[in-house]
Amino acid sequence: MHEMALAESILGLVEETAAAQGVSGVGRVRAVFLDVGELSSVEPEALLFCFDAVTRGSVADGARLEIQRIPGQGWCLNCSRTVPLAALYDPCPECGRHQVQPTAGQEMRVREFELA
């Protein structure tokens, strides 16, 4: 389950940023806001579970994790259009060909977090 490693990395980033801002103490972060692409192979439910587990006793103990899903998008090399992608390697919904380069939906980033 790579979501555990992702949750640990998110916590590390939050703790580093909180320390740089002079924030310390258990439970000082109220919320963490993430952007997660639909093509990123991240399961939001698993990430929520793992985040809850790794944040216990930390500056983010009890913080809620808000995940905004970023839709998949790609550039079709055949019809020269930006098209929606439900999964990597899906064919272009316009022309049916498989020469689609993903342009959005693979990312995962911490957008912001809220302090108590």
pLDDT in tens, 25-76: 888 999 999 999 999 999 999 999 999 999 999 999 999 999 999 999 999 9
Considering the entire predicted model, what is its pTM?
0.86
Domains assigned to the chain = 2-12+26-115 (3.30.2320.80)
How would DSSP label each residue in 44-113? HHHHHHHHHHHTTTSTTTT-EEEEEEEPEEEEETTTTEEEEESSTTPPPTTT--S-EEEEES--EEEEEE
